[in-house]
Amino acid sequence: MRPAKVILYEVGPRDGLQAETEIVSAADKIALIDTLSASGLKYIEAASFVSPKWVPQMADAAEVMAGITRAPGVTYPVLTPNLKGYESAKDARATTVAIFGAASETFSQRNINCSVAESLDRFTFIMEESASDRIKVRGYVSTVIACPYEGPVKPQAVAEMARKMLDIGCYEISLGDTIGVGTPADVSRLLDTVLKVIPPEKLAVHFHDTYGQALANILTSLDYGIATIDSSVGGLGGCPYAPGASGNVATEDVLYMLTGMGINTGVDLDAIVAAAWQISDVLGRPPRSKVAVAKGRP
């Protein structure tokens, strides 16, 4: 059941840097993405075309997309909450965008200022455009284990939202434990329900590591046949609308585990560790990952 190959979907330049209090310059973001492009990663989420009033850290998305050197075979998805964001992403020559909804009402309101039902209407407008533009759309469902405002979220609510996002045309759904509170027992309950309506090859998992459970949760997900894992170089990350959420699981920690388990990713660990130190130096602190610290500065 465990996959022999896994796709690592890098979210550091987006999920990571959107949550840093210090605003990282476009030049440093571009340098980070260019370093990551040489690591073997096939997906590097580069930016968000969201309101700069809501997330000032992503205000330079167009500059970042224009400045990066696109490596052959690498996709640089960007987040788009609405048609306005989608049009900007298209202007920036994005070939894949990501829409992001939630399984809980309050998080949806706080994150994208609309209800879950309204978010699906907005997403439908994006899907109509993207189909004719041949732009692929990834879907995120946030708060798959718990909502920072409402508490535990029912797996059935997640399965329903994920299925709806797939039905409107997303090629894959990433299940986000936005605040990083889940344990393997929660993940099993979640996947037992979601896999009844969505096959594993259409799912990715996106764990924040607030309570240190992310690697255990990934191992559990692998046993359910999930073969796409979101992670963030240097353990960067959080969510500005999820109080207390810490970084995503670190790419280098996931990669070390997968390599040790004989699971192929095509990604070079030393290159990821170098990227982790590169961005951590910009932020003026050591990487928040076991592996980058253990291996030390390259």
With CB under 5 to 8 Å by kind, the binding choice for 50 among Mg ion, ligand HMG, none is: ligand HMG
The size of the interface with ligand HMG (CB under 6 A), counted in residues, is 26
Q: Of the two residues 86 and 207, which places its CB atom closer to Mg ion in the complex?
A: 207
Out of 48, 75, 210, 289, the only residue in the binding site for ligand HMG (CB under 6 A) is 48
Q: Of the two residues 79 and 166, which places its CB atom closer to Mg ion in the complex?
A: 79
With CB under 5 to 8 Å by kind, the binding choice for 54 among Mg ion, ligand HMG, none is: ligand HMG
> Roughly what angle, to the nearest 10 degrees, separates helices 105-112 and 116-133?
60
CB 146 → Mg ion: shortest distance, Å? 14
- The pairing of beta strand 136-142 with beta strand 96-102: parallel
Does position 28 interact with ligand HMG (CB under 6 A)? The reply is no
Q: Establish how many alpha carbons lie within 13 A of residue 298's alpha carbon, considering only the half-sphere containing its beta carbon.
A: 15
Out of 51, 95, 106, 115, the only residue in the binding site for ligand HMG (CB under 6 A) is 51
Q: CA 21, CA 8: separation in Å to the nearest integer?
A: 26
Does position 210 interact with ligand HMG (CB under 6 A)? The reply is no
Residue spans of beta strands (DSSP E) within the chain: 7-10, 43-44, 47-48, 78-79, 96-102, 136-142, 146-147, 151-152, 172-177, 203-207, 228-231
Residues 102-141 that bind ligand HMG (CB under 6 A): 111-113, 140
Q: CA 272, CA 290: separation in Å to the nearest integer?
A: 13
Radius of gyration of the chain (CA): 17
Residue 23's SS3 state is coil
Stretch that binds Mg ion, among 13-21, 24-32, 41-49, 103-111 (CB under 5 A): 13-21
Does position 15 interact with Mg ion (CB under 5 A)? The reply is yes
For this structure, is 239 an active site residue?
yes
CB 271 → ligand HMG: shortest distance, Å? 23
Q: Establish how many alpha carbons lie within 13 A of residue 126's alpha carbon, considering only the half-sphere containing its beta carbon.
A: 32
Q: CA 56, CA 227: separation in Å to the nearest integer?
A: 33
Where does this chain bind ligand HMG (CB under 6 A)? 15, 18, 48-51, 54-55, 79, 81-82, 84-85, 100, 111-113, 140, 142, 176, 178, 206, 208, 239-241
Residues annotated as catalytic are: 239
